[in-house]
Amino acid sequence: MPRENLHLTKSPAAKSKAAHRLQSDGLAFDYFPAFTQKTHEFHTHAFVEILFVFDGTFRHVTADRTYDESAGGLTVLNYNQFHTLKTPSGPVELMNVYWDLTKYALPDLPEPLASRLHELIPSHPMLGHRLNRVFHLQMSDPEKTGQLLRMLYDEQQKKSAGNAAAIDALFRLFLIELCRAAPAVQESAAENFNPRMEAVRCHLDKHFAEPVRLEQLCKLSSLKEANLCRQFKKYTGVSTGDYLKQRRLATAMQKLRGTNEKILTICHDCGFSDIANFNRTFRTALGLTPSQYRNYP
């Protein structure tokens, strides 16, 4: 593979179609028929990167884990994740998806897929935490996933009427397949898994639109307040209050971009106490008011 293509694992080469698409549209695809890399070249991205393996095996090293990725495997690397690839067993056929969510927003999906998508891919870097930095999935129908990605890549490579509409439709289908996929490593088997904290996290995910009191979480986990707060922050990287705020903001962002609901309605449906609180919290986290975010190009 030409040396210039190796740089595409870091960011698309400056004059490539992928670089142009990422800059202009916020979404780009790049196909590697025989990717090779013998040494680790650690790097990071300001955007989301998704890798899908058609054939072969490679070693994927992140900040705290090492994985052997094989055919049918898909990895979601969210914003600013330090990682590298190595191919000790020879060339690998793979597809890279580069996604800047400030330019190409999360599509609206039906529940429960919409919630699953927000778990896999936060709408904004400020919504990241320890548990959603990297996801490794084994696609349930790798052939279908591969076909969708090849079609997306082909649409990017040519100029035809309806390219943008075709990419939107195909990418939505791809995300549906991604959300349907089961994690390659179940959380219960993952290192540092904490069943009590996972129960608290799931409770917050399910009841984020309701008032949540710390006493409820203590009862659920059978822990005292200080111990609960300490364990939850160790498990997720954020406090229970910040996790709840992230969950509310993620749903609000989805509704602002994906629906025509009034901002006041979204405020209350997402669990914010009043519109002033909603505006202040949203602006502090994202640098925009809800109205500005809805109308952001």
Predicted confidence at residue 175, as pLDDT, reads 96
Predicted confidence at residue 113, as pLDDT, reads 87
pTM: 0.81
Q: Which residue has the tokens 């996933």?
A: 145
Of 86, 108, 17, 8, which Cα lies nearest the Cα of 49? Answer: 8
Tens of pLDDT, residues 168-181: 999 999 999 999 98
Torsion of the alpha carbons at 242, 244, 245 and 247, rounded to the nearest 10:
120
Q: Per the structure block, which two tokens stand in for 7?
A: 């740089």
**What homologous superfamily is domain 3-188 in, according to CATH?**
Regulatory protein AraC (2.60.120.280)
Tens of pLDDT, residues 271-284: 999 999 999 999 99
CATH class of 194-294: mainly alpha
DSSP state of 212: -
Q: Does residue 199 have a pLDDT over 70?
A: yes
Q: Domain map of the chain by residue range?
A: 3-188, 194-294
Tens of pLDDT, residues 226-282: 999 999 999 998 999 999 999 999 889 888 987 899 999 999 999 999 999 999 999
**DSSP letters of 32-94?**
EEEE---S---B--SSEEEEEEEESEEEEEESS-EEEEETTEEEEE-TT--EEEE-TTS-EEE
Peptide bond into 112 cis (omega under 30): yes
* Contacts (Cβ under 8 Å, ≥6 apart) of 39: 86
Half-sphere exposure (CA, 13 Å, Cβ side) for 199? 11
Q: In sequence order, what E strands does the chain have?
A: 27-35, 48-55, 57-62, 66-70, 73-77, 83-86, 92-99, 134-138, 182-183
Is there a contact between 205 and 247 (Cβ–Cβ < 8 Å)?
A: yes
Query: pLDDT band at 37, cuts 50/70/90?
Result: confident
Is there a contact between 22 and 98 (Cβ–Cβ < 8 Å)?
A: yes
Predicted confidence at residue 282, as pLDDT, reads 95
Q: Which residue has the higher pLDDT, 199 or 192?
A: 199
CA–CA separation, 174 and 117 (whole Å): 11
Query: pLDDT band at 57, cuts 50/70/90?
Result: very high
What does pLDDT average to over the chain? 87
Tens of pLDDT, residues 91-100: 999 999 999 9
